[in-house]
Amino acid sequence: MNEALLRELVPAVIGALVRRGASFVAAEDAVQEALVEAVRVWPGDAPRDPKGWLVTVAWRKFLDAARAETSRQEREIRVETEPAPGPSEAVDDTLQLYFLCAHPSLTPASAVALTLRAVGGLTTRQIAQAYLVPEATMAQRISRAKRTVSSVRFDQPGDLATVLRVLYLVFNEGYSGDVDLAAEAIRLTRQLAARTKDEEVAGLLALMLLHHARRAARTGPDGRLVPLAEQDRGLWDTRMIAEGVDVLQAALARDRLGEFQAQAAIAALHADARCAAETDWVQIVEWYDELVRITGSPVARLNRAVAVGEADGARAGLAALAELDPALPRYTAVAAYLHERDGDLATAARLYAEAARSAPSLPEREHLTRQAARLNTRLRG
């Protein structure tokens, strides 16, 4: 049973039903039922044309649901000719589904859930496990999202920037349960990159690959967070890094720089250094300058302050940090790091402890707490 194939076929099958007159909501429900049927039937009787089989079965499911709803719908649907088994249409609807699922009327959480369901082919249970919420809660979230986009025409142009933002959100969720969301985001972004030559799609794919290549080194055997400077670079996936660099270079050659390309260039410079001491911080600062110019993002400015501290010294980094809002997430952690680099261990210890109290995740909280304890031990000694 090839589950990966099933998930890859989902967008095309939904699109086929929508083009035959089904609403997105009805099509998505029918395809999910067809997938359940495939899991039951295929192990003993695999079809020659998996997509054609899914389209046929999903269309029957849709017809059954429509007939059961009202007699009016039954009369309208019966004039349609059920598609005969055989080779399916070679029409690619994946890109439209991306745009539909990333509709601006949806909240980011709903857009992510709908994308994973309709484009990624994941079940509600899998998505709920990945987000560590009850399945009923996720089912409600997906149902609300489907109702929201139910009146959107399937052929309306979408906002590619919104699609990329949703995929970036999926990637940043990491992984839990039996679904690796980071790997799923890479799979979906590869799929999108195959359907559009946009430089920012390539930039996002490169960024994901370069970050994901360091995954094995991000935590120690005891589950502790390992900072980039302390990671065992021998654990980095060099083939994934090489692919990410190749994708990035091809995008940059088109000379249409965007934020994901700039972020990927920074990640590539980190990946290129054989050890932390060889990191080209001067060039990283230059790329952060580009990123700030493009986005004006306070988070980019915060990360730039760290890079300035590495390139020009802790005092320069603290000066750059002083220009930013202290309410920024991780501002206090950055301040602690730069004060430690500047030799002010007492202030750094206090700030590490303060940052730990507002850390967004347990691993980060534990890491910052250990940093504060380490400095306090040195001060007592």
Q: Are 52 and 13 in contact (CB under 8 A)?
A: no
DSSP letter string, 235-246 = GS-HHHHHHHHH
End-to-end Cα distance, the chain: 62
The pLDDT value recorded for residue 312 is 97
For residue 71, pLDDT over 50 is answered with: no
- What digits encode the pLDDT tens for the residues 239-297? 999 999 999 999 999 999 999 999 999 999 999 999 999 999 999 999 999 999 999 99
DSSP letter for 274, please. S
pLDDT at residue number 86: 41
Alpha-carbon span 169 to 96, nearest angstrom: 19
Instruction: Examine the pLDDT at 87 and tell me if it is beyond 50.
Output: no
Evaluate if residue 218 carries a pLDDT over 60: yes
pLDDT higher at 84 or 245:
245
More confident position, 67 or 148: 148
Could you tell me if 341 and 357 are in contact, meaning their C-beta atoms sit under 8 angstroms apart?
Answer: no
35-44, 91-100, 252-261, 272-281: which has the minimum mean pLDDT?
91-100
**Which band of pLDDT confidence, cut at 50, 70 and 90, is reported for residue 155?**
low
Instruction: Pick 357 or 121 by higher pLDDT.
Output: 357
pLDDT surpassing 70 at residue 365? yes
Q: Helices 238-252 and 199-212 meet at what angle, rounded to 10?
A: 160
Q: What confidence tier does 42 reach under pLDDT thresholds 50, 70, 90?
A: confident
| Triad 211, 285, 359: Cα angle to 5° | 55
Q: What's the predicted TM-score (pTM) here? A: 0.78
pLDDT tier at 177 (50, 70, 90 boundaries)? low
- What residues pair up with 179 in beta bridges, in sequence order? 176
Residue 204 near residue 263, CB atoms below 8 Å: no
CA pair distance 77, 189, nearest whole angstrom: 36
Distance CA 254, CA 345 (A): 47
CB contact set of 3 (below 8 Å; sequence gap of 6+): none
Q: What pLDDT does 75 receive?
A: 42
Nearest to 6 by CA among 42, 28, 35: 35
The reported pLDDT for the residue numbered 62 is 85
Domain ranges of the chain: 1-85
| pLDDT (0 to 100) of residue 276 | 94
- Residue 262 CA to residue 271 CA, distance in Å, equals 14
Higher pLDDT, 342 or 195: 342
Question: Would the pLDDT of 14 be above 80?
Answer: yes
Write the DSSP string, 104-125.
Answer: TTS-HHHHHHHHHHHTT---HH
Is a pLDDT exceeding 80 seen at residue 306? yes
Q: What is the pLDDT of residue 272?
A: 95
CA 358 – CA 136 distance, rounded (Å) = 30
Continuous H helices in the chain: 3-19, 24-41, 50-69, 71-78, 94-101, 108-118, 124-130, 135-149, 160-172, 181-193, 199-212, 238-252, 259-272, 281-295, 298-312, 314-321, 331-341, 345-357, 362-380
